[in-house]
Structure formats: C-alpha cells, structure tokens
Amino acid sequence: MADEVILLDYWPSMFGMRTKMALAEKGVKYEYKETDPWLEYIDEVWSDAYTILPSDPYQKSQARFWADFIDKKFYDPSWKVWATMGEEHAAAKKELLEHFKTLETELGDKPYYGGEVFGYVDIALMGYYSWFKAMEKFGEFSIETEFPKLTTWTKRCLERESVVKALADSDRIIEYVNVMRKQFGAE
C-alpha cells in the first residue's frame, strides 16, 4: 500500500472529483496535481535522476515553447481531423499537415527534439503517437511518406522501453475514435 498518493488529474473530470471524494472519505492524504504542468512537477519531485527539461535557461524556454505549440496548436486539428466532416475536416487536415511540417522542420537532423537526449518535447509529442494512426486514417495522409525525419524520430523513440510501455495500442485508439465519431455525428 502506498504511503502517499499523487493524484494526477484534469480539473473538469468527474472521475477525478469522485476520486478526491473517495480519498477524503478514507482519510487518505494525497497530492493533487493538474495534468497540465505534469512533467515539470515530475522533474521537480524526482530531481536526482535524469532531467526531462534542460537546465540551460534558453533551451528550457525553447522546450516549453514547443511543448506549448503541441498542446495549443497541434492538439486542435489532431482531433478535428477525425471528429469533423466537410469543410471543417478539410481545414483541420490542412492545419494538421502544416503543424506536422513545422515539427519536422524544428526537428531537422537532430536525433531528438532535446538534441542528443530524449527530453520534454519528445515526451510531449510522443504522447500523441498512439493517435497518429487515427489521424492518418481519417485525414488520409501518411506520416511516413510526407515527414521522413519525423518518421525516423518516432522509430528512434520507439526503441526506448519507457515509450513502448507507455503507449496505448493504435488500433484500440481507432476503435475508440470510431465510437466517438458516432457520438459527434461525424459519420
């Protein structure tokens, strides 16, 4: 049994609210952490091990910039490409491909976004990897064909046990997306 619990949650989640009630009723002390700045929190708590965010201030601000880009720009078309139809779908696809291109250019010939080390931006973008197949299927494009550097990078990341063990099965995501598409009226 855990001595201390860290609850990683997203604030509007009814599951999170239930969990907080249950833990409080049990008298279990826990630390509540929003999922939004999760990785920085993890870096602070386990600061003695490998560092996710670079310590250099400039590199740190760059890493934050690209992680923000992924969540604020990339995220929106990444789900609209499978959740919408017609003009909205076409606009989402166009935007998504532009963002993939931007990410391909930013990566360039570096092994990782973090340079020589697998870091903050690599984790931020690989968090979406399980969803790539759904984006390709419903967006009708191929990452392998259009973004060779990103493709090499994903293969490099997939050599890491930490990554492979974290990812959800892409086909299970597609099944999930099919259910969501029905709910959103996108088919």
Based on CB atoms, which residue is closest to its own copies, 22 or 148?
22
Label residues 30-45 b or e (16+ Cβ within 10 Å = b).
Answer: eeeeeeeeebebbbee
Return the closest-CA partner of residue 177 out of 123, 134, 118. 134
- The secondary structure of residue 141, as a DSSP letter, is -
Q: Which stretch binds its own copies (CB under 8 A): 94-102, 103-111, 143-151, 178-186?
A: 178-186
- Fill in the per-residue mask, 31 to 50: x = in contact with its own copies (CB under 8 A), - = not in contact: x---x--xx--xx-xx--xx
Q: How far is the CB of 57 from its own copies (least distance, A)?
A: 21
Please, what is the minimum distance in Å from the beta carbon of residue 146 to its own copies?
21
Question: What does the CA dihedral 132, 134, 137, 141 come to, rounded to 10 degrees?
Answer: -30
- Beta strands 5-9 and 30-34: pairing type? parallel
CB 111 to its own copies: min, Å: 15
What is the per-residue binding string for its own copies in 124-163, x denoting contact by CB under 8 A?
x-xxxxxx----------------------------xxxx
Return the DSSP state at 115: B
Q: How far is the CB of 172 from its own copies (least distance, A)?
A: 8
